Structure 1
Amino acid sequence: MTAFFKALTSAVKDAQTGGCLCAETAPQDIATLIFGIIQSLVLRLLVTRDPSLLLSDGKRLLELQLSAFAPAAGAT
């Protein structure tokens, strides 16, 4: 879990450097929120036993989360 979180944080930093995510938010905070999405989906999978939720809800929730950290319009 620690290695995955470090890799996720590194990917967030790269996305911030590339201008894909806002640089004003700490990379660890963004990674923690993304990690939370993954954890909630796994919990729902364990409860519902419905793996289709991973694809439909996972994609939608991740896109929503990432859009919240998109750079402001006109920001470079």
Structure 2
Amino acid sequence: MKFNNLLVLLSITLISISAGAKELIEMKNERLNKEKEYKSWISKKKNELIIKDNEVKKWANVNHEKLKNKKTLLHH
């Protein structure tokens, strides 16, 4: 009888460990997925900022050239 009780306890323990391990794996996968989403979001925002930065630089260069042309016209 004691042997059967030990087998039952061992079975319950193994099932609990297995369920806990499965839950930990699911939590890890969720965390990894969130991490991927976050990295993707950061990459997207970084690209948007690069595009905006390039637009601002282009605008600044165009206005600088316009200003240079006005100064040249005024001095002649």
Structure-1-length-normalised TM-score:
0.31
Name the structure, 1 or 2, with higher relative contact order (CA <8 Å, separation 6+): 1
Q: Look at both structures and tell me which one has the larger radius of gyration over its CA atoms.
A: 2
Q: Which has the higher helix share?
A: 2
Structure-2-length-normalised TM-score:
0.31
